[in-house]
Chain A
Amino acid sequence: MSNEDAKHTALEEAKRAVEEAEALTGGSAVAVHATTGPRRSPLVTLAWVAPGTIWLLLFLIAPLVMIVLVSLWQKTPVGFDPFVFTTEGYTKLFQTPVYLDTLKDTIIRALLVTALCILIGYPIAYFLARGVSSIRYQIALFVFVLAPFWVAYVVRIVAWLPVLGRQGVINYFLVEVIGVRAEPIDALLYSNFAIILALVQLYVLFMVTPIFFQLATLDNAAIEAARDLGATPAKVFREVVLPLSLPGVLIGCIFVFVLVMGEFATVRLIGGGTIQSVGTLVYDYYKLPDLPTAAAGATILVAVMTIGVAVLLRFSKIREVV
């Protein structure tokens, strides 16, 4: 309801703006005309949306449908039998508590990583967007933030070993240099701690980027108005900047949550194989090969991710803010 109202007001405002602009420029506001200009033929519209639609249908929707179908087919030693429908793939997943426990761990890990990414990513984005005035430096620093992505995935992961390992920098410091520990701490590597550390490092960028763009395009007039009205910097942030940047935070959350839910390579390598995620579990079934069970595991994962994203969208009411 309030959504509709908001749209309504916005439309009316836009119309009024158009009228004002036309009055000012003698009815030749080109930019305005472009959006309200003569209707395009439906064929042209179709031509515009066709490539994207076909792409998504072929490479997103079709594979998803396929995964759901495979999850319901009968496993054979050779693969699956598409003429026999069965829920065996699902019952197999729930025969032992392994899948549910792993799913629970995966969700907790994803939420934790998302929260940490907000905590770490927001200040970075804020500094980039509001603290750096020159656009040249802004871009230079943003590219710098991208730096981890210039390095190959595996290299980034392997690089943790000399830092967190039993004979790594941190343990060396703790045991040899300051001597607060007699034995190195094993839990630094091949542990949940290590996985979360690596995931935050990997994905914080997906939080920084949308927040940065949201903050960079924030209307300075709103901030100046708040200041003029006597708001303290803290209040300006709380009442103006933060609410206006929330869509960026939300998009970041969706990115990070979805990526971490589906993670398997980092979990596999940084966990040293001792820790599972739904992704590694699905991969194990795929290797067997037990494709229906792997597909069932993937289907449930997709369902959970969709619910997660829906919840995020619902509670944040992103469309109202935008």
Chain B
Amino acid sequence: MSNPDSDDMRRMNRRQFVRNAGLGAVGLTAMGALAACGGSDDSGSGTSAAETAAAEEAATTAAAAEEVAPYQGALRVVGLGVDLIDPIKAAFEAATPGVTLEFTVKSTPEITQLALTQPDSFDIMSGYYHQLDQIWPSGNLQAIPSASMTRFAEISPLIADGKLSESNNPGQGDAPFRKLFATSNTELAGEGNKTDMITMVPANHNSDSFGYNEKELGEQTSWGIMFAPEVKGKVALVDDPEVGLMDAAMAAEAAGVMTFVDKGNMTKEEIDEIMSFLISKKKEGWFRGFWATFDESVNFMSSGEVLVESMWSPAVSLLQAQDFPVRYAAPDEGYRGWGGGNSIFSHVADDPSKQAAALAYLNWWNTPEPAGIMAAQGYYNAVITASYEGLGAFPDGEAYQGYYLDGAAATTTLNDPFGQPTITEGEVRDGGSYEERCGNFAVWNSRMDEADYLTQKWQEFKSA
């Protein structure tokens, strides 16, 4: 006895299977192999006709790709201030004659907004994996065959699979490995589904925690310090409902106030609970401020207005270079991670030579020079060997490699990519080596399902 429903379902599955097999075959033809998949049921002949057509098309495209004239002109990149810096622009332009970069620096929500509303104004988006849930369905960005990422095989297992080693904690939320793969220009593959298309060629990632005044507070290793009595009125959060709340949530969890099922994707009830706690704290005068810019976070700390706050690691380095007693915590509960990369806007595909140049830019990010420039600010490249190679090319390269990647004490003064000394001799990086700092994630920056609700509550919090 078979009921019609399950029969239908089976047929559907079979058809889907056939279609997938066909797609696989197309992929193979494109790689130069022969299509060996024969049709076994009545839809088979249709499939092989489509295959042939697709194969021919692929062949034409491949031929065209070989003949593409090198692109001459500008690539328009929209991205974050931390990535789109002058040394990066100079290095790429020197390495790629004829191609210039036009950088437009925006905040994360602005980048999302521009990617959604003005996709034709830019060729490349430089951003974060957690923006993709919002942007990807628009189809404004292209899925790129992983085969066209030059160093795809060398991506850090953290980015590809979520862990550097088996015992590591991958953390909750929008970790890169959950958003790296796509099934189409409008659909993400989702966790555990490694397709042969990627959303962004991964570039930088890092582990964030909080900055604190060591002179006033002593060494701190728990997010819970944010709600300890001695810091009342001297706490700041980043004014970003997603990141700021994540920091507060980790602090609340560590302080034993409440727990979450998934901090990367909180429920309405969890948001209500943490927000009413935060609002009551704000009314007590717990928070000194909510910062919106990097400089503001530096000012909060250096002026003594706050003792502990959300902070980016270069802000901490900046103050440390001025001998201010600030430390970047290595929290027991784990870091808040973030990962980013570059993606090509869909319209670029209409211009094969520009497409090739854009792809070259994406791949260039995993070469030693840019990886070294970013590593000297504390960021890790998705191809971590590129970071090693890049730092190694500096004068006193071993000192840079030791400090930034191996957790060793700096054997000399280290400069940032702008030539300013940031690390003094003898300093050890907070949290230690790459393996230590990227082995324990509590959560990753995320776009939550309840993001709109969260924003509404965040506004209530700010105006409370």
Residues of chain A having any CB pair with chain B under 8 Å: 77-79, 92, 95-96, 98, 101-102, 158, 161-162, 165-167, 186, 189-190, 268-269, 272-276, 281, 284, 287-290
Contact = CB atoms under 8 A, between A and B. Distances in A.
Interface string B236-275: 1001000000000000000000000000000000000000
- Give 7 nearest A-B pairs by CB, closest first: A272-B289, A273-B290, A276-B463, A289-B113, A287-B109, A273-B239, A78-B116
Contact of A274 (B112, B116, B290, B460): B290
B303 A167 contact: yes
B303 A166 contact: yes
A162 B303 CA distance: 8
Contact of B462 (A95, A165, A273, A290): A273
B107 A287 contact: yes
Interface in B160-202: none
Interface string B120-150: 0000000000000010011000000000000
Contacts of A78: 116-117, 138
A96 B462 contact: no
B459 interface: yes
A232 B177 CA distance: 84
Contacts of B107: 287
Contacts of B46: none
12 contacts: A78-B138, A98-B463, A165-B305, A186-B288, A190-B288, A190-B305, A269-B296, A274-B282, A274-B287, A274-B290, A276-B463, A281-B463
Given A161-B299, A186-B233, A274-B289, A79 B456 contact: no
B456 A95 contact: yes
A306 B299 CA distance: 38
Contacts of B56: none
B455 interface: yes
Contacts of B288: 186, 190, 272, 274
Given A166-B304, A288-B109, A77 B289 contact: no
Contacts of B138: 77-78
Contact of A272 (B109, B116, B285, B290): B290
B289 A273 contact: yes
Given A166-B303, A272-B236, 7 more contacts: A78-B116, A161-B299, A186-B285, A268-B292, A274-B282, A274-B288, A274-B289
A57 B1 CA distance: 74
Contacts of B233: 186
Given A79-B117, A165-B304, A276 B285 contact: no
Nearest to B238: A273
Contacts of B109: 287-289
A92 B305 CA distance: 35
A107 B276 CA distance: 27
Contacts of B299: 158, 161
A268 B137 CA distance: 33
B86 interface: no
Contact of A289 (B112, B137, B282, B305): B112
A96 B460 contact: yes
B42 interface: no
B441 interface: no
Nearest to B118: A79
B332 interface: no
Contacts of A92: 456
B291 A273 contact: yes
A77 B447 CA distance: 13
A268 B239 CA distance: 11
Nearest to A76: B116
A186 B287 CA distance: 11
B456 A96 contact: yes
Nearest to A97: B460
Contacts of B236: 272
A276 B110 contact: no
Contacts of A288: 109, 452, 455
A51 B459 CA distance: 42
Interface string B286-330: 011111100010011001110000000000000000000000000
A189 B460 contact: no
Contacts of A289: 109, 112-113, 116-117
Contact of B463 (A77, A101, A166, A290): A101
A98 B116 contact: no
B110 A287 contact: yes
B304 A102 contact: no
Interface centre among A162, A165, A268, A284 (most CB of B within 10 A): A284
Contacts of A167: 303-304
A277 B279 CA distance: 18
A79 to B, nearest CB: 5
Of the listed residues B138, B282, B290, B291, the one surrounded by the most CB atoms of chain A closer than 10 A to its CB is B290
A232 to B, nearest CB: 50
Contacts of A162: 303
A164 to B, nearest CB: 10
Given A289-B113, A290-B452, A281 B459 contact: yes
Contact of B459 (A186, A189, A190, A284): A284
A167 B236 CA distance: 17
Contacts of A77: 116, 134, 137-138
B439 to A, nearest CB: 33
B303 A161 contact: yes
B303 A165 contact: yes
A230 B67 CA distance: 98
Contact of B305 (A95, A98, A166, A287): A166
Nearest to A268: B292
A102 B463 contact: yes
Contacts of A186: 233, 285, 288
A78 B140 CA distance: 10
A272 B299 CA distance: 11
A77 B451 CA distance: 12
A161 B107 CA distance: 25
Contacts of A101: 463
Interface string B94-119: 00000000000001011011001100
Contacts of A273: 239, 289-292, 462
Given A77-B116, A288-B109, A274 B303 contact: no
A219 to B, nearest CB: 49
Contact of A79 (B116, B134, B303, B463): B116
A270 to B, nearest CB: 10
B379 to A, nearest CB: 24
A85 B370 CA distance: 48
Nearest to B292: A273
The interface centre, meaning the residue of B134, B236, B304, B463 with most chain A CB atoms within 10 A of its CB, is: B463
**Best-surrounded residue of A78, A96, A290 (most CB of chain B within 10 A):** A78
A18 to B, nearest CB: 60
